[in-house]
Structure 1
Amino acid sequence: MQLYNVMSADERAKLIDEAGQKRLTLSFYAYAHINDPQKFRDDLFLEWDKLGVLGRIYVAHEGINAQLSLPAENLQTFKEYLDTYPFMKDIRLNIAVEQDNKSFLKLTVKVREKVVADGLNDDTFDVTDIGVHLKAKEFNELMDDPDTIVLDMRNHYESEIGHFEGAVTPDVTTFRESLPIIDDMLKEHKEDKKLLMYCTGGIRCEKASAYFKHQGFKNVYQLEGGIIEYTRQIKAEGLNSKFIGKNFVFDNRLGERITDDVIAHCHQCGKPCDTHTNCANEGCHLLFIQCPECAEKMHGCCSDECKDIVLLPADTQKKLRKGIRNDAMIYRKGKSDKLKVFR
């Protein structure tokens, strides 16, 4: 019984081309009490593999966080399978603003301690005691209230290319870093201010809303469905978008455009640009913003050092990166000394 992905990205991409099927990219999450995450994980993998699901899914005792793609023709069957679990019945699926058949090239379902790492070790914290959900129109209206503080619960590399106007955007690399920073920043306003939170699809601001309620904040709100659902609603209802720029996404697209505003800059020349890429040197793989001109000049690399490496034979490159673990550095981007950062 195969419970893990065995194909390479190139092999999977070829199969997608040969199938000629339209695929949908979507995401969803649910906080719930799952007694046996490993069994839940294995069951999901077996069923979703049959449906051609590809993506990155995390499960834990506290719930599920899924970002995936699947053939459009299998969407109804996929929904019916989700409905067999009470906590996922009729769950909202955030359909991507921009579609790409190759947004994901393998199916990965992992068991984690938490679906959103928060660094908290507090048995009294109830992740299901959340703030008030707001739809796009309500969110826009509350933004206009002078007693509202808008909080971006994402990381610096996400908010750099797009955010809500006037939002507090913490300079952090992980979600867990943002919680104590914001708590300390706003500790004098637990009674008099309204906290209005948002993230990509809702999962981080949902946990954050529960956390800040737990910390004693009285007026806590969150954007239902995150930026993805907000964008769908403003288009459907003809509303003005108070989100400007691009929405960063964690798949091969690395972003989907919400408005024409370009609020970021190339990290190598300073030219207006909001296109993320990963350094072409696999031993580095640093995430950064690079304009087309610098991409050509630098061969898709973040530095001259990495450019010299990618010009070497493939076997030599492989030997040089053997044993290197760079996962923690990839998303540090603006904090890397390899880049000229214009922020």
Structure 2
Amino acid sequence: MSSDKEKRVKKSKKEKKEKKEKKEKKEKKEKKEKRSASPTSSEPSTKKQKPTSSSSTGPTVTLLLFYQYIEPLWSPSRHKQALSHIQKTGELYNLGGRMRCAREGLNCTITGDREGVENWIKDLKSFDDTFLKTEFKLTHNLPLGQSFPKLNAFKVDEIVNYGLSGSRAPSIGKTAIHLEPKEYNEKMKEKDTVIIDVRNYYESQIGAFKPPIGGAELIDPKMRKSTEFPAWLDLQETKERIKGKNVLMYCTGGVRCERASALLRGKLEGEDRGLGVKGVFQLQGGIHKYIEEFPEGGLWSGKNYTFDKRFAHAGLSLEKEGKVEVVGKCEACLKPWDRFRGKRRCPTCGVPSLICKECVDRDESGDKKIGKDVKCKLCVEEGVESKADWKRREEELMNGYEEKLKVKEREKKRTEKDSRNSENTDTPSTSNDVANSEEANDITANVTTPDSNPNNETRLWIGNLNNKKVTPDNLIQIIPNIKFVQWLYGPDGKGCKGFCFVEMKSEEDAGRAKAGEGVKVFGRPVKINYQEKDGKSSWPPPNAIYY
């Protein structure tokens, strides 16, 4: 019994001790909270405040949009300084938003009070005088709900992700001619002109330019992301559509057109100089500036999709009068709709879904769920059936373009090497240099009469190739006047399978190549057959390599 009594006494003491400690801890916490509620420090609070302005109607927000490319590129250390500067000064002025900072420049969407935003701009100009020429697009007196709660400065390779960083980036010194909105508006009325929408397809679903009848032709590349643009621009179909035309480009604020137009101009001055494009132009300040100068709409139809808290907007006059044309449609019920809301994305390709409020409400309540069969308009048009199907299509397009780039880069290196060798006459050429080897001979060199080509075929099957020595680089030397080749790699992803398909520039060129059949190249007699188009396979294929 005494044992039980001792246990009870010990337990009672322990409970009293714990109760006392708990009480002391609570009192200590209350005292601490009381002290923090009445600070005696003379230092100012660093806690971020809501944006304010002197507006008599209450606090408002200023929105800043801008981009600026830097040439020559910032050094790695200067890039680091720039990233630190924009982050620290942004925090100093209580700004929110997103800042993409690359060695090639800045691309920013920022909100804050008017004074803070304007002071931040002054500091940026002092940091680097390149920004003295920057076009800063400011929108004042927006509601507080359109402010960004946090500031995020990101270190990136490109201020717009085209997959063209480093040596692949076209020079910004070769961008298009920049036209102010009124000049651009007149240019859209001209014939023999095409307009390329450089934005993503889902953005164009709620608004786009609508050129007049007899004027320019609008071309939508139907991209899901900007990295697809270089590959689209390289397609033969695209080249045919811009051939002999004036090319206009536009995007939301202008930044995407800078690299896009520089890429096009670079191609027109090089491999595509024969297209005869008359000129390349872009809209200065983008749709944002055009809508400001044409508040009643001009040749713009619908709304401008934005990446800030406005989400989308139209001309001020149209919005005030409630006359904005709704050009988009709900992907679920197909009723007119132009507001991207919620987190739903296309179940096959992942772009934002355009779903009306009624369908969203019914889905959330369980009344009528939005199934996986509800896809974006582009996936419906293209017949994309699943994520795997979309992934396969994307890889075909991008891998084909990537291979073309590698071929061009190899050709460039070889040309530079040849140039260095020609400058040094004492440097002997090597027998292992396949591109310059006498074995990579022109099989049509001794052809006087083209072979019979009764069906006027231009597509050829080329076989019995030396799979270790024949490459896309030297194939054009072996068989001249190839337009493009479908190169078939070996099982290791290198060399070739020993055969390929080519499209010749003309029926006569195909006949001349056929007449050269049997000539030995790298010790093997080349075999050639006319290849009739069966209408089943895609031709030209997505991975075609053009010469």
Q: CA deviation at 1:188?
A: 3.7
1:179 corresponds to 2:230:
yes
- The 1-side partners of 2:95 and 2:303 are apart by 26
TM-score by length of 1: 0.77
Distance 1:45 1:17, change over 3 A: closer
1:222 corresponds to 2:285:
no
Q: CA deviation at 1:279?
A: 2.6
Q: CA deviation at 1:218?
A: 5.0
Distance 1:97 1:139, change over 3 A: farther
Q: Secondary structure at the match of 1:171?
A: coil
Q: Secondary structure at the match of 1:83?
A: helix
Q: Which residue of 2 aligns with 1:21?
A: 59
Q: CA deviation at 1:154?
A: 0.2
**CA displacement, residues 184-210 of structure 1 (integer Å, 9 cap, x when unaligned):** 233246662111000000000111111
Q: Secondary structure at the match of 2:248?
A: strand
Letter in 1 for 2:101: V
* Higher Rg of the two aligned structures: 2
Match of 1:114 among 158, 168, 173: 158
Q: Which residue of 1 aligns with 2:106?
A: 64
Q: In 1, are the aligned partners of 2:362 and 2:369 still within 8 Å (CA)?
A: no
1:89 corresponds to 2:125:
no
Match of 1:163 among 173, 193, 208: 208
Letter in 2 for 1:182: L
**CA displacement, residues 52-108 of structure 1 (integer Å, 9 cap, x when unaligned):** 211111011111100111101324312311221211114211234993433322101
1:250 corresponds to 2:295:
no
Q: Which residue of 1 aligns with 2:410?
A: none
Distance 1:124 1:234, change over 3 A: closer
The correspondence of residues 139-288 of structure 1 with structure 2, limited to 5 A, is: 139-166=184-211, 167-184=218-235, 185-188=237-240, 192-216=244-268, 217-235=277-295, 241-258=298-315, 260-279=324-343, 287-288=352-353
Distance 1:292 1:255, change over 3 A: same
Q: Which residue of 1 aligns with 2:357?
A: 292
**CA displacement, residues 267-305 of structure 1 (integer Å, 9 cap, x when unaligned):** 111110011012379xxx97222222112212299x837
TM-score by length of 2: 0.49
Letter in 2 for 1:209: S
**CA displacement, residues 135-160 of structure 1 (integer Å, 9 cap, x when unaligned):** 11100111011011001000011111
Uncovered stretches (5+) of structure 1, i.e. residues with no partner:
1-13, 308-330, 339-343
Q: Which residue of 2 aligns with 1:45?
A: 87
Q: Secondary structure at the match of 2:258?
A: helix
Q: Which residue of 1 aligns with 2:142?
A: 99
- The 2-side partners of 1:174 and 1:290 are apart by 20
Q: Secondary structure at the match of 1:59?
A: strand
Q: In 2, are the aligned partners of 1:31 and 1:128 still within 8 Å (CA)?
A: no
The two structures, once aligned, show a CA RMSD in angstroms of 3.3
Uncovered stretches (5+) of structure 2, i.e. residues with no partner:
1-47, 212-217, 269-276, 319-323, 387-547
Distance 1:300 1:96, change over 3 A: farther
- The 2-side partners of 1:300 and 1:107 are apart by 35
Q: CA deviation at 1:226?
A: 0.4
Distance 1:153 1:305, change over 3 A: closer
Q: CA deviation at 1:120?
A: 2.8
Distance 1:18 1:144, change over 3 A: closer
Distance 1:86 1:333, change over 3 A: farther
Letter in 2 for 1:119: G
- The 2-side partners of 1:219 and 1:17 are apart by 45
Letter in 1 for 2:261: S
- The 2-side partners of 1:75 and 1:219 are apart by 37
**CA displacement, residues 22-68 of structure 1 (integer Å, 9 cap, x when unaligned):** 21112100010222322211111101111121111101111110011
- Paired-residue identity, %: 28
Q: How many matched pairs?
A: 297
Letter in 1 for 2:210: E
Q: In 1, are the aligned partners of 2:254 and 2:284 still within 8 Å (CA)?
A: yes
Q: CA deviation at 1:183?
A: 3.8
- The 2-side partners of 1:299 and 1:68 are apart by 32
Q: Secondary structure at the match of 1:149?
A: strand
Match of 1:54 among 96, 105, 117: 96
- The 1-side partners of 2:111 and 2:358 are apart by 31
